Every structure is written in C-alpha cells, then in structure tokens.
C-alpha cells in the first residue's frame, strides 16, 4: 500500500473551472437547469413546467394536450423533446418512469454563480491501493439522496491509506473508463458538499490509483431533483481531502 505526502495545513481555494465543466453545469440545459423529476403512473396528470398531461405507458413517458387525447409526445428513457423553451426528458429507475423538465429559468440555474474548488497541488492527493475484486454475483445496497434503496452489483474494493494515516477500504463501481467512487470526507464539516464523485482509471497489476484532484460535485448539488447515490458506509472518511471541487456558489438561497 502506498500513499501521498502529507497535506499542507491550509488549502487555497479558487472558482476557476474549465469551460467544459461550466457549460456542463450552467449551460441553458445543463445540470443546474433540472426543474423537476416527476414520477409517472398510468393516470395522466400535469407536470410542473411541462405542457399537457403526462402518464407512464409501458417503458415510456407519454404526454397529451388534453385528457384522453392522442399522444403528442412518447419518450423512451433518455429521449428528449423541446417544448416552450424547455427540454422534456424521460428517465427510468428500477422500471419506474419519470419525466424531467430542464428549464433555463429554473432557480437552481439562475442563482448559480460558480463552483468553488481547491487549487491543485500536483501529486499531493494521489493515492494508490490494492484492488480486491468481489466474487461473481456479489451485491450491495445503494441508498439514493431521495431516501430510496436498491440492490446493485458489488464490483470490488480498494485498500488505501490517506495522507495523515487514515486507512479505508473503499467500495468502487465499474464504468466505461475503469472505476468510479462516491465518497464523503471531512470537508463537509467546514462548508464543503456532503459527498463527491471521483472517476478512477482501470486497475494495473492489481493496483488502482486515485487522484482526488479530480473529485467533482454530484448533480444533486446543483439541483435537488437528481437522484444521486450516497456513499457506502466504508466510503465516509474523517480526513478532509482538500482537493477537487468543494461546493456550489449561489447568489442566494433557492426557495423550496
């Protein structure tokens, strides 16, 4: 097991982010524009910010201009349609269909002023550890920010030691680029977001390297209507990892 050198006593903050990241978050239909995620059933009803009435039919979100009218929109999960300057998008979780409305005038977007992050300290928060794959068929329970729980595959863990000496056995998930991590850490005690995401490359000779300077805020930090997974218990760290994105900056509170 290897670990990085000890962190400095204080960390410098900045609001500089890449143009690509800012567009992803703050663009007209970026992450912060999500106005609502409305779960649907077979009863047609209004959805805030969307025209007409909406219901679930099979695996699609179906919208009509009037009750009992012919379908005007039929959206499979991931499909979108534009209506009234907004984007309507079908979403599915565990077989249940929802309609999402992306609205450039959503308060979550119009109050957004920036992303605060830690200034990069090259190599300081780069940590390597042994990857331990899980047995075939292993599962774990994942809780989302809206309080729901679901079963998901348990892909494996990585054993690390952080600067300062804290040891952890982190649950990681496979993705197209290797692995990803959902973690909480000590920055939440001082105004940082309660958890963050981290993309990780593939294991090399059984070792995974985590560069926490790439830690980023989850979509639910920009809009309350995302359904982000929460960190596993083993992924809740005491150490304040002063790297990556720290918190969302706003001109004022969002009205609930």
Check pLDDT > 80 for residue 3.
Answer: no
Asked if residue 167 lies in contact with residue 161, where contact means CB atoms within 8 angstroms, the answer is: yes
Are 104 and 29 a contacting pair, CB within 8 Å? yes
CB pairs under 8 A, 24+ apart, for 188-195? 189/240, 190/240, 191/246, 191/247, 192/240, 192/246, 192/247, 193/217, 193/218, 193/221, 193/245, 193/246, 193/247, 193/248, 195/230, 195/231
Q: Please enumerate in sequence order all residues whose Cβ is within 8 A of that of 58, keeping only pairs 6 or more positions apart, or say none.
A: none
Contacts of range 166-175, beta carbons closer than 8 Å, 24 or more positions apart: 166/237, 166/238, 166/239, 168/234, 168/235, 168/237, 169/132, 169/234, 170/129, 170/234, 170/235, 171/140, 171/232, 171/234, 171/235, 172/131, 172/200, 172/208, 175/199
pLDDT at position 10 is 67
Q: What is the bridge-based pairing of β-strands 86-93 and 96-102?
A: antiparallel
CB 221 within 8 A of CB 194: no
Tracing tokens 């012919």 back to the chain, one arrives at 70
User: With contact defined as beta carbons under 8 Å apart, do 90 and 77 qualify?
Assistant: yes
Give 252's strand partners: none
Token reading at 229: 């997974």
Tell me which DSSP letter residue 206 carries.
T
Structure tokens at 63: 């919208």
Report pLDDT digits (tens) over 21-53. 999 999 999 999 999 999 999 999 999 999 999
- What would the pLDDT profile of 157-189 be if each residue is shown by its tens digit? 999 999 999 999 999 999 988 999 999 999 999
Q: What percent of the chain has pLDDT over 70?
A: 96
C-alpha–C-alpha distance, residues 172 and 183, integer Å: 10
Question: pLDDT value at position 81?
Answer: 98
Q: What 8-state DSSP symbol labels residue 2? A: B
Write down the mean pLDDT value for the chain. Answer: 94
Phi first, then psi: what are they for 24, rounded to 5°?
-60, -40
Q: Where are the domains of the chain?
A: 31-103, 115-250
Which residues are within 8 A (CB) of 64 and not within 5 positions of it... i.e. 6 or more apart? 44, 52, 53, 54, 70, 71, 72
| pLDDT over 70 at 129, yes or no | yes
pTM of this structure:
0.92
């Amino acid at each position: 097991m290897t670990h990085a050198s000890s962190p400095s006593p204080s960390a410098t903050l900045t609001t500089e982010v890449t143009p690509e990241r800012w567009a992803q978050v703050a663009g007209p239909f970026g992450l912060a524009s999500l106005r609502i995620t409305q779960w649907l059933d077979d009863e047609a009803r209004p959805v805030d910010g969307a025209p007409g009435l909406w219901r679930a039919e099979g695996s699609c979100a179906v919208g009509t201009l009037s009750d009992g009218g012919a379908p005007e929109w039929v959206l499979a999960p991931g499909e979108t349609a534009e209506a009234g300057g907004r984007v309507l998008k079908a979403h599915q979780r565990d077989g249940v269909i929802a309609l999402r409305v992306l609205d450039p005038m959503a308060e979550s977007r119009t109050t957004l002023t920036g992303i605060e992050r830690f200034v990069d300290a090259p190599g300081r928060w780069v940590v390597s550890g042994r990857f331990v794959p899980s047995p075939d068929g292993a599962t774990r329970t994942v809780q989302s920010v809206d309080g729901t729980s679901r079963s998901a595959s348990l892909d494996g863990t990585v054993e690390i030691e952080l600067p300062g000496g804290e040891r952890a056995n982190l649950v990681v998930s496979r993705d197209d680029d290797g692995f990803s991590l959902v973690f909480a850490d000590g920055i939440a005690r001082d105004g940082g977001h309660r958890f963050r995401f981290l993309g990780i490359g593939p294991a090399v000779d059984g070792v995974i390297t985590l560069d926490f300077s790439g830690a980023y805020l989850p979509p639910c930090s920009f809009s309350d209507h995302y359904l982000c997974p929460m960190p596993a218990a083993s992924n809740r760290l005491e150490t304040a990892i002063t790297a990556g994105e720290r918190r969302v900056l706003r001109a004022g509170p969002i009205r609930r």
